[in-house]
Amino acid sequence: MADKTALIISLHDDCSELAHLASSLGYAVDRIFVQPRLHPDAARYIGPGKIAEIKEHLADHDVECAIVNGELRPSQWYNLERDLQIRVYDRLRLILDIFADRAQRKEARLQVKLASLRYERPYIRELIHRTKTGEHPGFLAGGEYQVASYYERIKKQMKNIKAELTKIEEERKARRQHRLHTGFYLVSLVGYTNAGKSCLLNQLTDETVKVDDQLFSTLSTTTRRLQQTDHDGIMPLLVTDTVGFIQDLPHWMVDAFHSTLEEIDLSDVIVLLVDASDDIEDMQRKALTSLQEVTSMHHTPSIVIGFSKSDLLTPEERASKREKMRRVIGDRPSLFLSARTGHNIDRLIDMLYAMLPEKIYMEITFPCAMNEESVAAVLRESVELIRMENSEKDKAYVCCSDRMKESIKGRLEKQGLQVRFCRE
Protein backbone atom coordinates (compact mmCIF):
# COMPACT_ATOMS: atom_id res chain seq x y z
CA MET A 1 0.00 0.00 0.00
CA ALA A 2 1.30 3.41 -0.99
CA ASP A 3 1.56 5.76 1.95
CA LYS A 4 3.77 8.44 0.41
CA THR A 5 3.51 10.50 -2.76
CA ALA A 6 6.14 11.26 -5.33
CA LEU A 7 6.23 13.04 -8.66
CA ILE A 8 8.20 11.84 -11.64
CA ILE A 9 10.41 14.01 -13.85
CA SER A 10 11.25 12.51 -17.22
CA LEU A 11 12.69 13.48 -20.60
CA HIS A 12 10.43 10.99 -22.39
CA ASP A 13 6.95 9.49 -22.09
CA ASP A 14 7.84 5.97 -21.06
CA CYS A 15 7.68 6.09 -17.26
CA SER A 16 5.86 2.84 -16.46
CA GLU A 17 8.90 1.02 -15.13
CA LEU A 18 9.92 3.96 -12.94
CA ALA A 19 6.36 4.19 -11.60
CA HIS A 20 6.49 0.46 -10.80
CA LEU A 21 9.82 0.96 -9.01
CA ALA A 22 8.31 3.87 -7.06
CA SER A 23 5.29 1.84 -6.02
CA SER A 24 7.61 -1.01 -5.00
CA LEU A 25 9.02 1.42 -2.43
CA GLY A 26 5.57 2.51 -1.28
CA TYR A 27 5.23 5.72 -3.31
CA ALA A 28 2.03 6.63 -5.12
CA VAL A 29 2.86 8.69 -8.21
CA ASP A 30 1.09 12.00 -7.89
CA ARG A 31 1.98 13.37 -11.31
CA ILE A 32 4.44 12.88 -14.16
CA PHE A 33 6.23 15.91 -15.60
CA VAL A 34 7.66 15.23 -19.03
CA GLN A 35 9.99 17.64 -20.80
CA PRO A 36 10.83 16.04 -24.15
CA ARG A 37 14.48 16.71 -24.90
CA LEU A 38 17.38 14.70 -26.26
CA HIS A 39 19.89 15.62 -23.55
CA PRO A 40 19.33 16.73 -19.97
CA ASP A 41 19.96 20.34 -19.02
CA ALA A 42 23.54 20.52 -17.76
CA ALA A 43 22.70 22.42 -14.58
CA ARG A 44 19.27 21.14 -13.55
CA TYR A 45 18.39 18.16 -15.76
CA ILE A 46 15.27 20.06 -16.95
CA GLY A 47 14.84 23.66 -18.07
CA PRO A 48 13.72 26.62 -15.92
CA GLY A 49 10.18 26.67 -17.37
CA LYS A 50 9.52 23.10 -16.25
CA ILE A 51 11.01 23.83 -12.84
CA ALA A 52 8.62 26.73 -12.41
CA GLU A 53 5.70 24.50 -13.42
CA ILE A 54 6.69 21.87 -10.84
CA LYS A 55 7.10 24.50 -8.13
CA GLU A 56 3.63 25.76 -8.87
CA HIS A 57 2.28 22.23 -8.51
CA LEU A 58 4.17 21.71 -5.27
CA ALA A 59 2.67 24.88 -3.79
CA ASP A 60 -0.68 23.16 -3.33
CA HIS A 61 0.16 19.45 -3.36
CA ASP A 62 1.65 17.39 -0.60
CA VAL A 63 4.49 15.60 -2.37
CA GLU A 64 7.36 13.97 -0.55
CA CYS A 65 9.92 13.60 -3.27
CA ALA A 66 10.67 13.96 -6.96
CA ILE A 67 12.04 10.97 -8.85
CA VAL A 68 14.04 11.58 -11.99
CA ASN A 69 13.69 8.98 -14.74
CA GLY A 70 17.41 8.74 -15.42
CA GLU A 71 20.75 9.37 -13.77
CA LEU A 72 21.57 12.71 -12.19
CA ARG A 73 24.98 14.28 -11.96
CA PRO A 74 25.67 15.50 -8.42
CA SER A 75 25.45 19.17 -9.43
CA GLN A 76 22.09 18.60 -11.15
CA TRP A 77 20.81 16.85 -8.03
CA TYR A 78 22.04 19.67 -5.78
CA ASN A 79 20.40 22.37 -7.89
CA LEU A 80 17.12 20.48 -8.25
CA GLU A 81 16.81 19.87 -4.51
CA ARG A 82 17.61 23.48 -3.78
CA ASP A 83 15.07 24.77 -6.33
CA LEU A 84 12.24 22.36 -5.56
CA GLN A 85 12.80 22.20 -1.81
CA ILE A 86 11.87 18.52 -1.65
CA ARG A 87 14.01 15.40 -1.75
CA VAL A 88 15.15 14.42 -5.23
CA TYR A 89 15.95 10.85 -6.21
CA ASP A 90 17.29 9.52 -9.44
CA ARG A 91 16.52 6.03 -10.76
CA LEU A 92 19.62 4.50 -9.18
CA ARG A 93 18.93 5.98 -5.77
CA LEU A 94 15.41 4.58 -5.97
CA ILE A 95 16.71 1.11 -6.86
CA LEU A 96 19.27 1.29 -4.05
CA ASP A 97 16.55 2.23 -1.56
CA ILE A 98 14.42 -0.71 -2.71
CA PHE A 99 17.44 -2.96 -2.27
CA ALA A 100 18.07 -1.53 1.20
CA ASP A 101 14.42 -2.08 2.08
CA ARG A 102 14.45 -5.73 0.92
CA ALA A 103 17.89 -6.89 2.00
CA GLN A 104 17.50 -9.36 4.81
CA ARG A 105 20.43 -11.71 4.80
CA LYS A 106 23.76 -10.45 5.98
CA GLU A 107 25.44 -10.74 2.59
CA ALA A 108 22.69 -8.80 0.81
CA ARG A 109 22.79 -6.10 3.49
CA LEU A 110 26.54 -5.71 3.11
CA GLN A 111 26.28 -5.61 -0.67
CA VAL A 112 23.62 -2.91 -0.52
CA LYS A 113 25.64 -0.90 1.98
CA LEU A 114 28.71 -1.07 -0.24
CA ALA A 115 26.74 -0.04 -3.32
CA SER A 116 25.15 2.86 -1.41
CA LEU A 117 28.51 4.16 -0.18
CA ARG A 118 29.84 3.91 -3.71
CA TYR A 119 26.79 5.76 -5.03
CA GLU A 120 26.95 8.49 -2.40
CA ARG A 121 30.62 9.37 -2.78
CA PRO A 122 30.29 11.82 -5.69
CA TYR A 123 27.28 13.45 -4.02
CA ILE A 124 29.20 14.01 -0.81
CA ARG A 125 32.02 15.42 -2.92
CA GLU A 126 29.52 17.87 -4.43
CA LEU A 127 28.34 18.96 -0.98
CA ILE A 128 31.92 19.41 0.17
CA HIS A 129 32.63 21.50 -2.90
CA ARG A 130 29.57 23.68 -2.21
CA THR A 131 30.58 24.01 1.43
CA LYS A 132 34.05 25.18 0.46
CA THR A 133 32.66 27.78 -1.91
CA GLY A 134 30.30 28.97 0.83
CA GLU A 135 27.12 27.90 -1.02
CA HIS A 136 26.14 25.22 1.44
CA PRO A 137 26.85 26.35 4.97
CA GLY A 138 26.42 23.85 7.72
CA PHE A 139 27.50 20.66 6.02
CA LEU A 140 30.19 18.96 8.03
CA ALA A 141 30.71 22.03 10.15
CA GLY A 142 34.32 22.05 11.23
CA GLY A 143 35.98 22.58 7.89
CA GLU A 144 38.76 20.81 6.07
CA TYR A 145 39.72 18.52 8.92
CA GLN A 146 36.18 17.17 9.26
CA VAL A 147 35.91 16.59 5.53
CA ALA A 148 39.14 14.66 5.40
CA SER A 149 38.18 12.47 8.34
CA TYR A 150 34.76 11.85 6.84
CA TYR A 151 36.40 10.58 3.69
CA GLU A 152 38.73 8.37 5.66
CA ARG A 153 35.75 6.90 7.49
CA ILE A 154 33.94 6.03 4.27
CA LYS A 155 37.08 4.50 2.81
CA LYS A 156 37.62 2.38 5.90
CA GLN A 157 34.01 1.32 6.03
CA MET A 158 34.12 0.20 2.39
CA LYS A 159 37.31 -1.76 3.03
CA ASN A 160 35.77 -3.54 6.03
CA ILE A 161 32.63 -4.45 4.12
CA LYS A 162 34.68 -5.84 1.24
CA ALA A 163 36.67 -7.98 3.66
CA GLU A 164 33.49 -9.34 5.24
CA LEU A 165 32.02 -10.09 1.83
CA THR A 166 35.16 -11.98 0.84
CA LYS A 167 34.77 -14.16 3.94
CA ILE A 168 31.15 -14.94 3.11
CA GLU A 169 32.21 -15.67 -0.47
CA GLU A 170 34.72 -18.28 0.78
CA GLU A 171 32.01 -20.06 2.75
CA ARG A 172 29.77 -20.03 -0.30
CA LYS A 173 32.56 -21.50 -2.42
CA ALA A 174 32.99 -24.35 0.04
CA ARG A 175 29.24 -25.09 -0.10
CA ARG A 176 29.36 -25.10 -3.90
CA GLN A 177 32.28 -27.52 -3.93
CA HIS A 178 30.39 -29.82 -1.63
CA ARG A 179 27.36 -29.77 -3.93
CA LEU A 180 29.54 -30.57 -6.90
CA HIS A 181 31.20 -33.48 -5.15
CA THR A 182 27.88 -34.94 -4.16
CA GLY A 183 26.86 -34.98 -7.82
CA PHE A 184 24.26 -32.24 -7.96
CA TYR A 185 23.53 -30.43 -11.19
CA LEU A 186 22.63 -26.78 -10.91
CA VAL A 187 19.81 -24.92 -12.66
CA SER A 188 19.44 -21.16 -12.22
CA LEU A 189 16.18 -19.30 -12.73
CA VAL A 190 17.11 -15.91 -14.14
CA GLY A 191 15.34 -13.04 -15.85
CA TYR A 192 14.11 -9.50 -15.59
CA THR A 193 12.72 -8.46 -12.23
CA ASN A 194 9.08 -9.59 -11.69
CA ALA A 195 9.32 -12.25 -14.44
CA GLY A 196 8.04 -14.96 -12.06
CA LYS A 197 11.32 -16.61 -10.96
CA SER A 198 10.41 -17.11 -7.30
CA CYS A 199 6.96 -18.40 -8.20
CA LEU A 200 8.59 -21.00 -10.47
CA LEU A 201 11.08 -22.00 -7.76
CA ASN A 202 8.18 -22.57 -5.39
CA GLN A 203 6.38 -24.67 -7.99
CA LEU A 204 9.46 -26.78 -8.76
CA THR A 205 10.63 -27.36 -5.20
CA ASP A 206 7.65 -26.93 -2.89
CA GLU A 207 9.37 -23.91 -1.41
CA THR A 208 7.60 -20.81 -0.12
CA VAL A 209 9.91 -18.02 -1.23
CA LYS A 210 8.25 -14.59 -1.23
CA VAL A 211 6.34 -13.88 -4.44
CA ASP A 212 5.09 -10.36 -5.02
CA ASP A 213 3.97 -8.05 -7.79
CA GLN A 214 6.82 -5.72 -6.91
CA LEU A 215 10.19 -5.14 -8.45
CA PHE A 216 13.12 -6.78 -6.64
CA SER A 217 11.15 -8.91 -4.21
CA THR A 218 14.13 -11.27 -4.20
CA LEU A 219 17.54 -9.99 -3.14
CA SER A 220 19.28 -13.19 -2.12
CA THR A 221 19.61 -16.47 -3.90
CA THR A 222 17.72 -19.51 -2.62
CA THR A 223 18.76 -23.00 -3.69
CA ARG A 224 16.53 -26.04 -3.27
CA ARG A 225 16.44 -29.58 -4.59
CA LEU A 226 14.03 -30.26 -7.44
CA GLN A 227 11.13 -32.34 -6.22
CA GLN A 228 11.44 -36.04 -6.93
CA THR A 229 10.81 -36.67 -10.64
CA ASP A 230 11.13 -39.63 -12.99
CA HIS A 231 14.62 -38.41 -13.77
CA ASP A 232 15.90 -37.97 -10.25
CA GLY A 233 17.79 -40.62 -8.33
CA ILE A 234 21.15 -40.61 -10.01
CA MET A 235 20.82 -37.08 -11.42
CA PRO A 236 19.83 -34.87 -8.48
CA LEU A 237 19.13 -31.33 -9.52
CA LEU A 238 19.30 -28.10 -7.53
CA VAL A 239 17.32 -25.03 -8.54
CA THR A 240 18.44 -21.52 -7.62
CA ASP A 241 16.25 -18.42 -7.54
CA THR A 242 18.25 -15.28 -8.35
CA VAL A 243 18.05 -11.49 -8.16
CA GLY A 244 16.26 -10.00 -11.16
CA PHE A 245 17.92 -7.97 -13.89
CA ILE A 246 16.94 -4.43 -14.82
CA GLN A 247 17.93 -2.28 -17.75
CA ASP A 248 20.59 0.43 -17.46
CA LEU A 249 22.24 -0.57 -14.23
CA PRO A 250 25.84 0.63 -14.11
CA HIS A 251 28.42 -2.10 -13.95
CA TRP A 252 29.73 -1.23 -10.51
CA MET A 253 26.26 -1.84 -9.17
CA VAL A 254 25.88 -5.16 -10.97
CA ASP A 255 29.28 -6.08 -9.52
CA ALA A 256 28.01 -5.33 -6.03
CA PHE A 257 25.73 -8.32 -6.47
CA HIS A 258 28.56 -10.35 -7.92
CA SER A 259 27.91 -13.48 -5.85
CA THR A 260 24.46 -13.92 -7.39
CA LEU A 261 25.92 -13.65 -10.84
CA GLU A 262 28.58 -16.16 -9.95
CA GLU A 263 25.88 -18.63 -9.01
CA ILE A 264 24.41 -18.20 -12.51
CA ASP A 265 27.82 -18.52 -14.11
CA LEU A 266 28.41 -21.89 -12.43
CA SER A 267 25.06 -23.37 -13.42
CA ASP A 268 24.73 -26.30 -15.78
CA VAL A 269 21.54 -24.90 -17.29
CA ILE A 270 19.82 -21.54 -17.11
CA VAL A 271 16.08 -21.03 -17.35
CA LEU A 272 15.69 -17.48 -18.60
CA LEU A 273 12.18 -16.31 -17.82
CA VAL A 274 10.44 -13.67 -19.91
CA ASP A 275 7.09 -12.37 -18.65
CA ALA A 276 4.75 -13.25 -21.54
CA SER A 277 1.95 -11.08 -20.14
CA ASP A 278 3.97 -7.94 -21.05
CA ASP A 279 3.40 -6.36 -24.44
CA ILE A 280 5.75 -7.59 -27.13
CA GLU A 281 8.04 -4.52 -27.05
CA ASP A 282 8.62 -4.96 -23.30
CA MET A 283 9.13 -8.68 -23.72
CA GLN A 284 11.79 -8.06 -26.36
CA ARG A 285 13.49 -5.31 -24.36
CA LYS A 286 13.58 -7.34 -21.14
CA ALA A 287 14.69 -10.54 -22.87
CA LEU A 288 17.49 -8.62 -24.56
CA THR A 289 18.70 -7.09 -21.27
CA SER A 290 18.63 -10.50 -19.58
CA LEU A 291 20.40 -12.25 -22.46
CA GLN A 292 23.10 -9.57 -22.49
CA GLU A 293 23.75 -10.12 -18.78
CA VAL A 294 23.85 -13.88 -19.10
CA THR A 295 25.98 -14.08 -22.22
CA SER A 296 28.55 -11.64 -20.79
CA MET A 297 29.58 -14.22 -18.20
CA HIS A 298 32.70 -16.37 -18.31
CA HIS A 299 31.17 -19.61 -19.35
CA THR A 300 27.67 -19.36 -20.74
CA PRO A 301 25.64 -22.35 -19.64
CA SER A 302 22.92 -23.83 -21.87
CA ILE A 303 19.82 -21.65 -21.88
CA VAL A 304 16.11 -22.51 -22.04
CA ILE A 305 13.80 -19.55 -22.55
CA GLY A 306 10.64 -19.82 -20.46
CA PHE A 307 7.78 -17.52 -21.49
CA SER A 308 6.16 -17.23 -18.07
CA LYS A 309 2.57 -16.51 -16.95
CA SER A 310 1.19 -18.34 -19.99
CA ASP A 311 -2.16 -18.64 -18.17
CA LEU A 312 -2.74 -14.96 -18.99
CA LEU A 313 -2.54 -15.49 -22.78
CA THR A 314 -4.79 -16.99 -25.42
CA PRO A 315 -3.31 -19.65 -27.75
CA GLU A 316 -3.32 -17.06 -30.58
CA GLU A 317 -1.39 -14.56 -28.48
CA ARG A 318 1.17 -17.23 -27.60
CA ALA A 319 1.71 -18.14 -31.26
CA SER A 320 2.09 -14.52 -32.29
CA LYS A 321 4.48 -13.66 -29.44
CA ARG A 322 6.59 -16.75 -29.99
CA GLU A 323 7.06 -15.72 -33.62
CA LYS A 324 7.98 -12.13 -32.74
CA MET A 325 10.39 -13.20 -29.99
CA ARG A 326 12.50 -15.17 -32.45
CA ARG A 327 14.25 -11.95 -33.44
CA VAL A 328 15.69 -11.69 -29.91
CA ILE A 329 16.14 -15.27 -28.75
CA GLY A 330 17.19 -16.83 -32.07
CA ASP A 331 16.84 -20.60 -32.18
CA ARG A 332 17.32 -21.20 -28.46
CA PRO A 333 14.92 -23.79 -27.05
CA SER A 334 11.82 -22.16 -25.56
CA LEU A 335 8.42 -22.94 -24.12
CA PHE A 336 5.41 -21.20 -22.62
CA LEU A 337 4.80 -22.12 -18.99
CA SER A 338 2.80 -21.12 -15.96
CA ALA A 339 4.04 -21.52 -12.42
CA ARG A 340 0.55 -20.68 -11.25
CA THR A 341 -1.36 -23.42 -13.10
CA GLY A 342 1.53 -25.86 -13.61
CA HIS A 343 1.20 -25.61 -17.41
CA ASN A 344 4.26 -27.18 -19.11
CA ILE A 345 6.23 -27.59 -15.88
CA ASP A 346 6.80 -31.30 -16.59
CA ARG A 347 7.95 -30.41 -20.09
CA LEU A 348 10.39 -27.88 -18.66
CA ILE A 349 11.86 -30.55 -16.37
CA ASP A 350 12.24 -32.95 -19.33
CA MET A 351 14.01 -30.21 -21.30
CA LEU A 352 16.38 -29.48 -18.41
CA TYR A 353 17.39 -33.12 -18.10
CA ALA A 354 17.84 -33.38 -21.86
CA MET A 355 20.37 -30.52 -21.67
CA LEU A 356 22.51 -32.13 -18.98
CA PRO A 357 25.42 -34.40 -19.92
CA GLU A 358 24.28 -37.91 -20.82
CA LYS A 359 24.34 -40.72 -18.27
CA ILE A 360 27.43 -42.88 -18.20
CA TYR A 361 27.26 -46.68 -18.35
CA MET A 362 29.67 -49.01 -16.56
CA GLU A 363 30.32 -52.71 -16.38
CA ILE A 364 31.35 -53.89 -12.92
CA THR A 365 32.92 -57.30 -12.40
CA PHE A 366 32.61 -58.91 -8.98
CA PRO A 367 35.07 -61.56 -7.78
CA CYS A 368 32.33 -63.81 -6.46
CA ALA A 369 28.68 -64.64 -6.94
CA MET A 370 26.37 -61.79 -6.03
CA ASN A 371 22.65 -61.30 -5.78
CA GLU A 372 20.88 -57.99 -6.51
CA GLU A 373 20.54 -57.12 -2.87
CA SER A 374 24.24 -57.41 -2.13
CA VAL A 375 25.08 -55.55 -5.35
CA ALA A 376 22.78 -52.71 -4.34
CA ALA A 377 24.54 -52.52 -0.97
CA VAL A 378 27.92 -52.16 -2.72
CA LEU A 379 26.68 -49.63 -5.30
CA ARG A 380 24.82 -47.32 -2.90
CA GLU A 381 22.89 -44.29 -4.11
CA SER A 382 23.94 -42.31 -7.23
CA VAL A 383 24.30 -45.58 -9.15
CA GLU A 384 21.43 -47.30 -10.88
CA LEU A 385 21.56 -51.04 -11.51
CA ILE A 386 20.37 -51.89 -15.02
CA ARG A 387 20.93 -55.64 -15.14
CA MET A 388 23.10 -58.46 -13.80
CA GLU A 389 24.88 -61.13 -15.79
CA ASN A 390 25.90 -64.32 -14.12
CA SER A 391 27.86 -66.26 -16.76
CA GLU A 392 31.41 -66.85 -15.43
CA LYS A 393 31.97 -64.08 -12.95
CA ASP A 394 29.18 -61.90 -11.75
CA LYS A 395 28.85 -58.73 -13.74
CA ALA A 396 26.58 -55.77 -13.14
CA TYR A 397 25.69 -53.16 -15.73
CA VAL A 398 24.97 -49.84 -14.09
CA CYS A 399 24.65 -46.17 -14.94
CA CYS A 400 25.46 -42.95 -13.12
CA SER A 401 25.73 -39.25 -13.86
CA ASP A 402 28.68 -37.93 -15.83
CA ARG A 403 29.62 -35.72 -12.87
CA MET A 404 30.01 -38.70 -10.54
CA LYS A 405 31.60 -41.23 -12.86
CA GLU A 406 35.22 -40.85 -11.75
CA SER A 407 34.52 -40.77 -8.04
CA ILE A 408 32.20 -43.79 -8.28
CA LYS A 409 34.73 -45.73 -10.36
CA GLY A 410 37.45 -44.88 -7.84
CA ARG A 411 35.32 -45.94 -4.90
CA LEU A 412 34.41 -49.28 -6.49
CA GLU A 413 37.98 -50.03 -7.58
CA LYS A 414 39.13 -49.37 -4.03
CA GLN A 415 36.78 -52.14 -2.99
CA GLY A 416 38.67 -54.51 -5.36
CA LEU A 417 36.13 -54.50 -8.20
CA GLN A 418 36.93 -54.19 -11.89
CA VAL A 419 35.16 -51.25 -13.51
CA ARG A 420 34.93 -50.48 -17.21
CA PHE A 421 33.02 -47.68 -18.95
CA CYS A 422 30.85 -49.10 -21.70
CA ARG A 423 28.00 -48.33 -24.08
CA GLU A 424 24.40 -48.58 -23.00
Ligand X SMILES: Nc1nc2c(ncn2[C@@H]2O[C@H](COP(=O)(O)OP(=O)(O)OP(=O)(O)O)[C@@H](O)[C@H]2O)c(=O)[nH]1
**Does residue 405 belong to the site contacting ligand X (CB under 6 A)?**
no
Question: 217 near 356, Cβ under 8 Å?
Answer: no
Task: Please state, in angstroms and rounded to a whole number, the distance separating the CA atoms of residues 184 and 238.
Answer: 6
For the CB of residue 189, give the shortest distance to Mg ion in the complex, in Å: 9
Of all residues in this chain, which one has the CB nearest to Mg ion in the complex? Answer: 218
Q: Of the listed pieces 75-83, 188-196, 221-229, 258-266, which binds ligand X according to CB under 6 A?
A: 188-196
Which among Mg ion, ligand X, none contacts residue 213 (Cβ within 5 to 8 A by kind)?
Answer: ligand X
Q: Decide: residue 100, CB within 10 A, 0-12 exposed, 13-18 middle, 19+ buried.
A: middle
For the CB of residue 241, give the shortest distance to Mg ion in the complex, in Å: 6
Of 138 and 315, nearer to ligand X (C-beta) is 315
Which among Mg ion, ligand X, none contacts residue 79 (Cβ within 5 to 8 A by kind)?
Answer: none
Size of the site for ligand X (CB under 6 A): 23
Q: Of the listed pieces 178-186, 190-198, 324-332, 404-412, which binds Mg ion according to CB under 5 A?
A: 190-198
Name residues contacting ligand X, limited to 362-391 (CB under 6 A): none
For the CB of residue 340, give the shortest distance to Mg ion in the complex, in Å: 14
- Cross-strand pairs, 90: 68
For the CB of residue 299, give the shortest distance to ligand X in the complex, in Å: 24
Task: Please state, in angstroms and rounded to a whole number, the distance separating the CA atoms of residues 74 and 92.
Answer: 13
Name residues contacting ligand X, limited to 325-344 (CB under 6 A): 338-340
**Does residue 218 belong to the site contacting Mg ion (CB under 5 A)?**
yes
**Does residue 306 belong to the site contacting ligand X (CB under 6 A)?**
no
**Does residue 24 belong to the site contacting Mg ion (CB under 5 A)?**
no
Name residues contacting ligand X, limited to 195-224 (CB under 6 A): 195-199, 211-218
Of all residues in this chain, which one has the CB nearest to ligand X in the complex? Answer: 244
For the CB of residue 336, give the shortest distance to ligand X in the complex, in Å: 10
Which among Mg ion, ligand X, none contacts residue 311 (Cβ within 5 to 8 A by kind)?
Answer: ligand X
For the CB of residue 264, give the shortest distance to Mg ion in the complex, in Å: 14
Which among Mg ion, ligand X, none contacts residue 358 (Cβ within 5 to 8 A by kind)?
Answer: none
The sign of the dihedral angle between the CA atoms of 47, 50, 55, 61 is negative
**Does residue 198 belong to the site contacting Mg ion (CB under 5 A)?**
yes
Q: What are phi and psi of 224, to 5 degrees?
A: -140, 155
For the CB of residue 197, give the shortest distance to Mg ion in the complex, in Å: 5
Q: Of the listed pieces 91-99, 155-163, 281-289, 306-314, which binds ligand X according to CB under 6 A?
A: 306-314
Q: Of the listed pieces 113-121, 157-165, 210-218, 321-329, which binds Mg ion according to CB under 5 A?
A: 210-218
Of 312 and 422, nearer to ligand X (C-beta) is 312
**Does residue 314 belong to the site contacting ligand X (CB under 6 A)?**
no
Q: Which residues contact ligand X by CB under 6 A? A: 193-199, 211-218, 244, 308-309, 311-312, 338-340
Instruction: Report the interface residues with Mg ion, using CB under 5 A.
Output: 197-198, 217-218
